[in-house]
Amino acid sequence: MAGAVKDASERVGASNAGGATVVPFSSNVGQAFRRGEFFAGLFILGFSNGIFERITQAIEQGTIESAILDTFGISVLVWVACFIAVSLLLRQPPEPVTRNDLILGLAITAAAFVPSAKASRIALVGLGLYGLRCFEAGAQARRAAFVILGADWCSRC
């Protein structure tokens, strides 16, 4: 009887399919990325989707070279803030991605599929606020959350 209970509890976390152990998808994703890398990827996805329209407009108004030299009509301070945010997130000590992180990641990815800069900006505000809520005070990722909110606000100007 005790063996049956033990066998049932082992099947909850993983199942055996043809000799190979199958682990739930969410636990694989949580272990595949560090939390800082996951947040950096979400920020890059949201930011790049949010500025895509500005980049295409800048290229349409002139040449590619002039658009690059004009930084696509986006302040150099915003580009620097983006670099700082990503570098702070990548310096975050290794932590596994949580289930709530994955839910936020799905929401940001869904916002990236909407062809609107506003959807991406809302997603970035959510990412920044979530980072302020879930990271400890003084952590690199919490500083990055402040930078993300600032970069998002400045990129509207």
Q: Are residues 85 and 13 in the same domain?
A: no
Q: pLDDT (tens digit, 9 = 90+) per residue, 8-28?
A: 434 344 444 455 444 444 555
Q: Judge whether 141 and 86 are in contact, CB under 8 Å.
A: no
User: pTM of the predicted model, to two decimals?
Assistant: 0.74
Tokens 């690199």 sit on residue: 140
Q: Are residues 74 and 25 in the same domain?
A: no
Q: Which residues contact 115 (CB under 8 A, 6 or more apart)?
A: none
Q: Are residues 112 and 55 in the same domain?
A: yes
Q: pLDDT (tens digit, 9 = 90+) per residue, 63-99?
A: 888 888 888 888 888 899 999 999 999 998 888 999 9
Q: Judge whether 49 and 120 are in contact, CB under 8 Å.
A: yes
Q: Are residues 120 and 130 in the same domain?
A: yes
Predicted pLDDT of residue 32: 66
Please report how the helices 99-113 and 35-61 are oriented relative to each other, as an axis angle in degrees rounded to 10.
10
Q: Are residues 19 and 38 in the same domain?
A: no
Q: pLDDT (tens digit, 9 = 90+) per residue, 44-67?
A: 999 988 888 888 888 888 888 888
How many domains does the structure of the chain reveal?
2
Q: Are residues 46 and 12 in the same domain?
A: no
Q: Judge whether 81 and 17 are in contact, CB under 8 Å.
A: no
Q: Are residues 11 and 59 in the same domain?
A: no
Q: Are residues 83 and 104 in the same domain?
A: yes
- Residue numbers of the domain that contains 13: 1-31
Q: Are residues 76 and 144 in the same domain?
A: yes
